[in-house]
Amino acid sequence: MSDLDKTFAKAAEIAQKLPENLQEAAFSRALDELLEESAQRSGAKNRRSSQRGTKPKPESQKAEAESENLLGTINKTEYPDIGATARVADRALKVLQLANEDHGTDGLTARQISEILTQKFRLPVTPNAVLMALQRESQTVDVRPGPNQKKIFHIMAPGDEYLKNLRSGETETRTCHKSKTAKKKAKKKPTVREKAASKKQASKKATQRKSTTLGPKAAVGKLIETGFFDNPRQISEIQEELKHNKGLTFRVEKLSTPLLRYVRDETLSRSRNDSGQYEYSKA
């Protein structure tokens, strides 16, 4: 098992100790903390390497100059949504996009992205955390070799589309919230009897939803029973099957924990395909 797999497994294990409604937030928080610890452990090694006094190659000097130029020319007031989401990958994608579209720089290293987020937008993040976050974004980011064997990350069309949808979702959420607030202000104050009747009806609906809605683990269990995993399935396929054929919508983070449990109790097995993605099948 790779270090990244171990980190995911440990984060999932920590999240499982909390109530289900807190597990998703706990998973993300634990993952960020573990990635930060990993970055700190490698920090000493990076500092020793940087103190050897070797002369930087011309390519390295050019990359440093580009990074300094970006830091000087980016106007942070033009990008107020950089920190709108907590995901390191989202923030890094937004930096790659603004560098490419507004400053003509197609591709940045993890260190350059880290410097822009930390120094320009006051969103502290280590180069190691950026590196690990973008390495998981195989559908939205292209990785190419750069000078001194450094990895250069380039945002692809699916990455631009992802950010477009992300921003659209944030706008819709804010608009919806404002609309609901305005409606509440316009409504008359309900009577005591109306409040009691509304509370009773809401409690009844909540009970009905609780009895009929499946959680992530139960939903995956149903797929196992129906033979869905007789053929290898990626987590995105599992998510789509539940959404379109079962009417159940779960985030990837919600599905990763029960899938890991089924792998551990040998109900399912998993392996990487040619694209490096995990596929789950019946054990």
Residue 277 included in any domain? yes
Beta-carbon contacts of residue 31 (< 8 Å; ≥ 6 apart): 7, 8, 11
Residue 172 pLDDT level (bands cut at 50, 70, 90): very low
CATH number at residue 129: 1.10.10.10
What pLDDT shows up at residue 39?
66
The last residue of a domain, from among 171, 203, 235? 171
Residue 23 included in any domain? yes
With a cut of 70, say whether residue 111 has pLDDT above it: yes
> What pTM, to 2 d.p., does this model score?
0.42
Residue 171 pLDDT level (bands cut at 50, 70, 90): very low
29 & 78 share domain = no
Helices in the chain by DSSP H: which ranges?
A: 3-15, 20-50, 58-73, 88-103, 110-115, 127-135, 157-186, 192-212, 216-225, 235-245, 252-264
Residue 196 included in any domain? no
Residue 58 pLDDT level (bands cut at 50, 70, 90): low
Residue 220 included in any domain? yes
88 & 121 share domain = yes
Residue 210 included in any domain? no
Give me 72's structure tokens: 């000087």
62 & 140 share domain = yes
74 & 159 share domain = yes
Residue 86 pLDDT level (bands cut at 50, 70, 90): very high
What pLDDT shows up at residue 149?
82
150 & 224 share domain = no
Residue 51 included in any domain? no
Residue 178 included in any domain? no
133 & 66 share domain = yes
With a cut of 90, say whether residue 160 has pLDDT above it: yes
Residue 184 included in any domain? no
Structure letter (DSSP) for residue 226: T
What pLDDT shows up at residue 135?
92
What pLDDT shows up at residue 119?
92
What pLDDT shows up at residue 93?
96
Residue 237 pLDDT level (bands cut at 50, 70, 90): very high
Domain count, the chain: 3
Q: For residue 249, what are the domain limits? A: 216-282
161 & 79 share domain = yes
76 & 19 share domain = no
13 & 98 share domain = no
29 & 73 share domain = no
Pair 98, 74: CB distance under 8 Å: yes
Distance from C-alpha of 198 to C-alpha of 195, rounded to nearest angstrom: 5
Residue 62 pLDDT level (bands cut at 50, 70, 90): low
71 & 33 share domain = no
Mean pLDDT of the chain: 82
28 & 70 share domain = no
Residue 13 pLDDT level (bands cut at 50, 70, 90): confident
With a cut of 90, say whether residue 155 has pLDDT above it: yes
Higher pLDDT, 55 or 127: 127
Higher pLDDT, 16 or 250: 250
Q: What is the pLDDT of residues 243-282, one digit of tens each?
A: 998 889 999 888 989 998 999 999 999 999 888 888 999 9
Q: How far is CA 221 from CA 145, 212, 261, 277, in A?
A: 42, 15, 11, 21
Q: What is the pLDDT of residues 178-218, one digit of tens each?
A: 555 555 555 667 777 787 788 878 876 765 555 457 889 99
